[in-house]
Amino acid sequence: MEESSSRNMRREEAKKVRQKTVKKRSTEEEEEEQDEIFNFNKKPAEEEEEEEDEDLSDSEDSVFSGLEDSGSDSEDEEEEGSNDKEDGDDEGLKTGPEESEQIEEEKGGVTHKKQEDEYERDSSDEEDIRNTVGNIPMEWYRDFPHIGYDLDGKKIYKPIRNKDELDEFLDKMENPDYWRTVHDKQTGSDIVLSDEQVELVNRLQRGQFGDVNFNEYQPQVEFFSGDLMVHPVSNRPADKRSFIPSLIEKEKVSKLVHAIKMGWIKPRRQDDDSRGRYYDLWTNEDSSILAKHRMHLPAPKIPLPGHHESYNPPPEYLFTDEERALWEQQDLSDRKFPFVPQRFSSLRQVPAFPRFIHERFERCLDLYLCPRQRKMRVNVNPEDLIPKLPKPKDLQPFPTTQSLVYRGHSGLVRSISVSPSGQWLASGSDDGSVRFWEVRSSRCMKTVQVGGAVRSVAWNPNPSVCLLAVALDSVVLILSPSLADRQVVSSSERLLSGQQEEEPAEGVGPVTWSEGEGEELNQGIRLKIQHPKAVHQVAWHAKGDYLASVMPDHSSHLQVFIHQVSRRRSQNPFRKNKGLVQCVSFHPVRPYFFVATQRSVRIYNLVKQEMTKKLQANSKWISSMAVHPGGDHVVCGSYDCRLSWFDLDLSTKPYKMLRHHKKAVRGVAYHRLYPLFASASDDGSVIVCHGTVYNDLLQNPLIVPVKVLRGHVITHDLGVLDVTFHPTQPWIFSSGSDATIRLFT
Partner 1 sequence: MSQLQARFFTENKRYVVDDVPFSIPAGAEVLDLSNVINKLLEAKNASHSKVEFDFLVRGQFLRTSLSTHMETEGISTEDVVEIEYVERITAPEPEECMMHDDWISSVDADAEWILTGSYDKTARIWSVEGKAVMTVAGHTDVVKDVAWVKRDGLTSLLLTASLDQTVLLWEWNSERNKVKARHCCRGHTGSVDTVATDPTGSKFCSGSWDKMLKIWSAVPTDEADEVEEPADRPRKKQKTQQLGLTRTPLMTLSGHNEAVSSVLWCDSEELCSASWDHTIRVWDVETGGMKTTLTGSKVFNCISYSPLCRRLASGSTDRHIRLWDPRTKDGSLVLLSLTSHTGWVTAVKWAPSHEHQLVSGSLDNLVKLWDTRSCKAPLYDLAAHEDKVFCVDWTESGLMLSGGADNKLYTYRYSACQTDAGA
CB distance 557 to 564 below 8 Å: no
Give the binding range for partner 1 (CB under 8 A) out of 237-245, 438-446, 508-516, 565-573: 438-446
Instruction: Count the residues of the shown chain that bind partner 1, applying the rule CB under 8 A.
Output: 17
User: Where does this chain touch partner 1 (CB under 8 A) — which range of 141-149, 296-304, 425-433, 481-489?
Assistant: 481-489
Nearest distance, CB of residue 727 and partner 1, angstroms: 11
> What is the three-state SS of 439-478?
CCCCEEEEEEECCCCEEEEEECCCCCCCCEEEEECCEEEE
- Candidates 53-61, 258-266, 347-355, 486-494: pick the segment binding partner 1 (CB under 8 A): 486-494
3-state helix, strand, coil split of the chain in percent (to 5) is 30, 25, 45
Q: Give bridge partners of residue 546 from the DSSP assignment.
A: 564
Task: Print the binding letters for residues 529-558 with partner 1: x by CB under 8 A, - otherwise.
Answer: ------------------------------
Indicate whether 189 belongs to the interface with partner 1 (CB under 8 A). Answer: no
| Distance of alpha carbon 642 from alpha carbon 664, whole angstroms | 8
Could you tell me the smallest distance in angstroms from the CB atom of residue 423 to partner 1? 6
Is 26 a binder of partner 1 (CB under 8 A)? no
Residues in the chain: 745
| Residue 745 touching partner 1 (CB under 8 A) | yes
Among 26, 41, 320, 441, binds partner 1 (CB under 8 A): 441
Which of 349, 487, 555, 695 forms a contact with partner 1 (CB under 8 A)?
A: 487
Contacts (CB under 8 A) with partner 1, residues 325-384: none
- For partner 1, the closer of residues 442 and 564 by Cβ is 442
Choose the stretch contacting partner 1; rule: CB under 8 A; options: 58-66, 70-78, 440-448, 685-693: 440-448
Shortest CB 634 distance to partner 1, Å: 29
Taking CB under 8 A as the rule, does residue 464 contact partner 1?
A: no
Smaller CB separation from partner 1, 619 or 724: 724
Which one of residues 202, 490, 556, 699 is an interface residue with partner 1 (CB under 8 A)?
490
Window contacting partner 1 (CB under 8 A); options: 18-26, 84-92, 451-459, 480-488: 480-488
What residues form DSSP beta bridges with 530?
475, 512
Q: Which residues pair with 527 in a beta bridge?
A: 478, 515
Query: How many other C-beta atoms can be found within 10 angstroms of the C-beta atom of residue 360?
Result: 11
- Of the candidates 486, 575, 576, 608, which one interacts with partner 1 according to CB under 8 A? 486
Q: Looking at residues 704 to 733 of the shown chain, list those that interact with partner 1 (rule: CB under 8 A).
A: 728-729
Judged by CB, which is closer to partner 1: 465, or 626?
465
Q: Does 566 bind partner 1 (CB under 8 A)?
A: no
443 in contact with partner 1 (CB under 8 A): yes
For residue 446, the minimal CB distance to partner 1 (Å) is 11
Separation CA 559–CA 550 (nearest Å): 6
Q: Which listed residue (389, 445, 534, 606) binds partner 1 by CB under 8 A?
A: 445
Strand (E) positions, 328-480?
Answer: 402-407, 413-418, 424-429, 433-438, 443-449, 454-459, 468-472, 475-479
CB of 671 to partner 1, least distance (A): 15
Least distance (Å) from partner 1 to the CB of residue 485?
4
Residue number, 425 or 547, with CB nearest to partner 1: 425
Residue from 667, 645, 669 nearest 725 by CA? 669
Shortest separation between residue 541's beta carbon and partner 1, angstroms:
25
SS (H, E, C) 222-241: CCCCCCCCCCCCCCCCCCHH
Based on CB atoms, which residue is closest to partner 1, 646 or 744?
A: 744
The residue among 530 and 728 lying less far from partner 1, judged by its C-beta, is 728
Contact 413, 735 (CB under 8 A): yes
497 is a site residue for partner 1 (CB under 8 A): no
CB of 403 to partner 1, least distance (A): 6
Residue type, 595: V
Measured over the CA atoms of residue 405, residue 410, residue 411 and residue 417, the dihedral's sign is negative
Q: How far apart are CA 55 and CA 43, in angstroms?
A: 14
d(CA 475, CA 530) in angstroms, rounded, equals 5
**Residue 442 touching partner 1 (CB under 8 A):** yes
- Give the residue among 587, 641, 595 at the shortest CA–CA distance from 615: 595
Q: Does 463 bind partner 1 (CB under 8 A)?
A: no
608 alpha carbon, distance to own chain's centre: 65
**Window 374 to 433, contacts with partner 1 (CB under 8 A):** 397, 403-404, 421, 423
- The residues, ordered by sequence, that sit 6+ positions from 470 with a Cβ below 8 Å of its Cβ are 428, 434, 450, 454, 456, 457, 476, 477, 478, 479, 538
366: which residues sit within 8 A by CB, 6+ positions away? Answer: none
Taking CB under 8 A as the binding criterion, the range among 35-43, 206-214, 483-491, 589-597 that sits at the site for partner 1 is 483-491
| Euclidean distance between CA atoms 345 and 361, whole angstroms | 29
Q: Report CA-CA distances (Å) from 543 to 185, 456, 660.
A: 156, 19, 34
Interface positions with partner 1 (CB under 8 A): 397, 403-404, 421, 423, 440-443, 445, 485-487, 490, 728-729, 745
